[in-house]
Amino acid sequence: MKKRVLSLGLVLALLTAALAGCAGKQNASWKVTCPWAPSGVAAMVSQQAATKSTSYSDTITLVAEAIKGDAATVNTWVADTKANDTQLVFVGEGLLSITSILDPDKLQFGYEDFVFVENLYSSIFVLSADAKLNISSIADLEEYVKQGDEISVAVNGAVGSEAFLAASLFGAMGAGSQLKLTPYQSAAEAAQAVARGETQFAVSHQSQILETYQQGGVTVVCAFDEKAIENGPFAGVEGVGSKGYPYFRNRCFIMARAGTDEKKVAELKELYGKILADKEVADWLHDTMLLEVDTMSVADVEAHIDNVKSIVNQYKDIVAG
């Protein structure tokens, strides 16, 4: 009996060792960690890219993972990875340009801890207004602001990109003191708030306001971009940049750990490039998610981070008080 128990124990130990050994053999698998909600835009795009990766590469398989937690998830990622680990992470302007200024203690990393791989998409936020206000252009908005009444804007999160876009637009119009930002737990909630008249305006991704817009609950006033939106259901909506107001697009960069072999990074960038050139992916991004494919260089990334940082520095008093 004793022998039987011993041999069984041995078999189990071997099995454990073998299973543990298997874990280290996934050289071609790159885990892409998205630190936001699994139902969010970035997580969905990452998942779509992962699904396509096997069609375009024999050596790299992307494995998408979404662990909600924002800075905490990226802190852990940075602490647990080293150069050349087969791990990638999403980092956006929220962390690199907003949290780094408003709450730097929250971040245990900096831009220098990463090496940029690729940016997959950019999203143009839009400002929507309660349909009863009858505001459908920047000129209407400027007129409305001149009346000097309180301006309430529903945003997703208290100090997110949406809050800063609202603050920069109304701040630049000279109405920073009239502005009241009302934070909601999600973009969908913020969109609904403006539709039922709880706030006058909302800032959201285009896809998040689409249904409310189609049902006539809101009008879409302007887009936070240089020029007017060219395609999709919001084609023709003016860009705030054309009137000289500040703006930025929402972008999420895929990063590897700093020090990762340049060749590997280039290989990953090439793979992402092929995936984004896939018509099915591009159409899906464009038609369903209302996003734009937006590959970038390191210089573009740094310019984007700096642009958002300057907006945050200028308008942080309106947002954070």
Stretch binding other proteins (CB under 8 A), from 69-77, 250-258, 269-277, 291-299: 69-77
118 contacts 148 by C-beta, under 8 angstroms: no
CA distance 255 to 93: 13
Q: Which is nearer to other proteins, 116 or 128 (CB)?
A: 128
With CB under 8 A as the rule, give the number of residues binding other proteins. 67
Asked if 61 interacts with other proteins (CB under 8 A), we say no
The distance in angstroms from the start CA to the end CA of the chain is: 74
CA distance 78 to 114: 9
Asked if 157 interacts with other proteins (CB under 8 A), we say yes
Stretch binding other proteins (CB under 8 A), from 40-48, 125-133, 259-267, 295-303: 40-48
What CA–CA distances, in Å, run from 161 to 124, 197, 236, 250? 11, 22, 23, 7
Asked if 296 interacts with other proteins (CB under 8 A), we say no
Residue from 32, 42, 66, 301 in contact with other proteins (CB under 8 A): 66
Asked if 69 interacts with other proteins (CB under 8 A), we say yes
118 contacts 295 by C-beta, under 8 angstroms: yes
Residue from 288, 297, 306, 313 in contact with other proteins (CB under 8 A): 288
Asked if 255 interacts with other proteins (CB under 8 A), we say no
Asked if 38 interacts with other proteins (CB under 8 A), we say yes
Q: Which is nearer to other proteins, 57 or 192 (CB)?
A: 192
Q: Which is nearer to other proteins, 155 or 240 (CB)?
A: 155
R_g over Cα of the chain: 23
- In sequence order, the β-bridge partners of residue 204 are 126
294 contacts 123 by C-beta, under 8 angstroms: no
Closest C-alpha among 40, 318, 290 to residue 153: 318
Residue from 3, 5, 104, 279 in contact with other proteins (CB under 8 A): 5
Closest C-alpha among 110, 111, 32, 16 to residue 67: 32
Closest C-alpha among 118, 96, 93, 121 to residue 107: 96
Minimum Å gap between C-beta 278 and other proteins is 14
Minimum Å gap between C-beta 106 and other proteins is 7
Q: Which is nearer to other proteins, 38 or 241 (CB)?
A: 38
Minimum Å gap between C-beta 74 and other proteins is 11
Q: Which is nearer to other proteins, 67 or 169 (CB)?
A: 67
Closest C-alpha among 294, 175, 182 to residue 245: 175
Asked if 312 interacts with other proteins (CB under 8 A), we say no
